[in-house]
Amino acid sequence: MANYEYFYSGTSYPLEPTYGDLFTGYRLPAGEIGAPTSIQTANQIQEVANLLNQGIKVIELQPISPEVFEQIPKQHFKEINRMTKLTGTESTVHAPLIDPAGFTREGWSEASKEVVERQLKSILERSHELNPEGNIPITVHASGIQGTEYAPGKEGVEPERIVAINQETKQLVPIQKEERIYPGWEKPKMVKPEEEIEIINRGEWQQSLSQLSFYKQRGDDLARDNLIVIAPKLNDIATGKIKIEELSPSEQAAYHQVYNAGNFYRNSMIMLNSLFDKAYKYSDERERERLLMAAEKYKKAIGEGEVNILTVARKGQAINEFIEDLSKVQPEIYVPVEDFAMEKTADTLAKVAFHGYNKYGSKTPIVSIENLYPGMAFSRSEQLKQLVERAREKFAQEASRKGYSKTEASEMAKKIIGVTWDVGHLNMLRKAGFKEEEIARETERIAKYVKHVHLTDNFGFTDSHLPPGMGNVPIKKIMQELEKKGFKGKAVVEAGGFVQHFKRPPTDYILEAMGSPLYRMMMAQPYWNQIRASYGSYFAFPSAYFPEQHVSIYGTGFSALPAELGGQIPGKQSRATGTPMA
């Protein structure tokens, strides 16, 4: 029989399993590849219907604008659940872009953190309606703020820029690695951002102590120069035996100056209380112990009662000694924003996850924390790993307090708190000079925590959102690393950039790139990378192979082909041998 198939020009052997320059080298069955809905509309039912019509088996709702998400009626979540059940598909959710630590445009506050926590709990409850019988993944961005930028260096990976936060004022300060020279240095040298934070902390603390010392010194000067004059009569003045107006003019002046010294000391004591509180809040445990010992010594030395004309000298000496003790500690007022946000973010995510577990038990949604672009907080695998582990710890602690066993709480934390690994965001490490090997190592470090994957492609400079195979994301290496650690989740392809510019669904390109088999069985050929670009030109379809009555009765349409060709019309004889058919 003649072959009437025509294939994409330029190929030598399209039936080769690795055929096609779009093929990533890693195969995923179509049933494990998902697609997102539009981020621009609350009409998610229509979006889901459009994707179902394309044959998509996993659909991620992505109305990532908080305003758009809040415009989805609650009934729509139940309706989408019915649609997916009827079609045998699955759904996932991308939460709106809100910072779980509680940062907003106005900065950070405890009140904004509480609002975010309540909002994420509400999102979890609505998302549960999409699949009340399973653990639907809800992707939550790890952060919404700028963080540390890294680059390859002589000593390995080094911070190029750190965003520090003043823990008192909550002000964010970007600190860049740069060349500096200070007094005493023979020549300029490159100061790392972490070294600069130490310099800033030391300088600010010394400035605070210097301001305190200035007021204290003014009191010392007044007391020292005038106590000599008035000291012999202080007791008589204090007991009322001598009235102020009975003193000589020089003694009266000395008395008032000593009284003013007491005012300086009183102000110094107020400042000391504030500085002690700051030092205690932002010091480590070892320095806190030293501070408590110094405070106890100060309390004994200062004695009871207010500063007055009789106690001014003793209290002045006690203040001096306490200032000296405070100068021996170094509170970290400025810290990298990740250090500050770690506890806040972990606390929010743990509370949201526990809310779901307490309400829905083992069928609660999964809180899946997504890595952001390099330069955003928690973008690196090590930071994200620490965040997940801390959130799991806090979840287990909360569950234990509410009566759950530690073993049960720990196991459930591992099940419902994990990572959404966005390979496109990861690939943007290339912009800072990282190689493909380091990108693969990032995946290796986080792989066992990954519950969900966002597949997308780019060239490492912007989050282009191309279909896989159209950029240089090492998808094969990344997916193999995840597979080694037992990853069983779904992969949602984010290709919105392609859709925006080329105005067409990318589904066929995606199936080709991921080498999906045409049939259900994973090892069954042909694969989409072999056949996507093929087409048939039936310019001379041999009607002789139809049953003889077919054309006269049914015409030449494809709706009623012989049974052997997928239709319903039985043939009279074998087309291959001409023998009668039973």
DSSP letter at 135?
Answer: -
- pLDDT tier, 46 (very low <50, low <70, confident <90, very high otherwise): very high
In Å, how far are 336, 531, 568, 571, 582 from 564, measured between CA atoms? Answer: 69, 22, 9, 8, 14
> Cα–Cα distances in Å, from 576 out to 3, 33, 36, 254?
15, 39, 46, 126
In the prediction, which pLDDT does 8 show?
47
Q: Decide if pLDDT at 228 tops 80.
A: no
In a 3-state reduction of DSSP, which class is residue 166? strand
Considering only residues 529 and 417, tell me which one the structure prediction assigns the higher pLDDT: 417
* pLDDT at residue 528, rounded to an integer: 86
pLDDT at residue 557 is higher than 60: no
Q: Which pLDDT score is estimated for 4? A: 39
Helix (H) or strand (E) holding 256: helix 249-281
CA 36/CA 556 separation, integer angstroms:
39
Q: What span, in angstroms and rounded, lies between the C-alpha atoms of 39 and 493?
A: 14
- pLDDT digit string (tens) for 318-372? 888 888 999 999 999 999 999 999 999 999 999 999 999 999 999 999 999 999 9
Q: Specify the pLDDT at position 185.
A: 81
Percent of the chain residues past pLDDT 90, beyond the cut: 60
**Which tens digit of pLDDT belongs to each residue from 285-314?**
999 999 999 999 888 887 765 555 556 677
Instruction: Count other Cβ atoms within 10 Å, centred on residue 487.
Output: 19
- Burial zone of 469 (CB within 10 Å; 0-12 exposed, 13-18 middle, 19+ buried): buried
Q: How confident is the model at residue 222 (pLDDT cuts 50, 70, 90)?
A: confident
pLDDT tens for 183-211 read: 888 888 888 999 999 999 999 999 999 98
The two counts, helices (H) then strands (E), for the chain are 19, 18
Name the more confident of 255 and 443.
443
Confidence at residue 306, expressed as pLDDT on a 0 to 100 scale: 56
Q: Give the per-residue pLDDT at 317.
A: 83
Q: Residue 91 contacts by C-beta under 8 Å, 6 or more apart in sequence?
A: 48, 58, 59, 60, 61, 80, 81, 84, 130, 131, 136
Strand partners, 61: 93
pLDDT band, very low/low/confident/very high, at 105 (cuts 50, 70, 90): confident
User: What's residue 190's pLDDT?
Assistant: 87
Q: Which two tokens stand for residue 330?
A: 């170094």
**Helix, strand and coil percent figures for the chain, each rounded to 5:** 50, 15, 35
Predicted confidence at residue 31, as pLDDT, reads 87
**164, 194 contact by CB (below 8 A):** no
49-78 residue pLDDT tens: 999 998 899 999 999 999 999 999 999 999
pLDDT of 539 > 80? The answer is no
Q: What percent of the chain has pLDDT over 70?
A: 86
pLDDT computed for residue 367 by the predictor: 97
Q: How far apart are CA 177 and CA 126, in angstroms?
A: 45
Mean pLDDT of the chain: 86
Does pLDDT of 85 surpass 70?
yes
361: left (phi over 0), alpha (psi -120 to 50) or beta: left
pLDDT average, residue stretch 431-441: 92
Backbone region of residue 170 per phi and psi (left: phi > 0; alpha: psi in -120 to 50; beta: other values): left
Average pLDDT over residues 262-285: 89
Go through the domains of the chain in sequence order and give each one's CATH number. 24-146+336-514 (3.20.20.150), 196-332 (1.20.120), 544-582 (no CATH)
200 close to 164: Cβ distance less than 8 angstroms: yes
pLDDT for 472: 95
Predicted confidence at residue 535, as pLDDT, reads 56
Segment 500-515 shows an average pLDDT of 90
- DSSP secondary structure, 76-134, as one string: HHHHHHHHHHHHT-EEEEE--S--TT-EETTEE-HHHHHHHHHHHHHHHHHHHTT-TTS
pLDDT for position 467 = 95
**Confidence at residue 235, expressed as pLDDT on a 0 to 100 scale:** 75
pLDDT for 552 equals 57
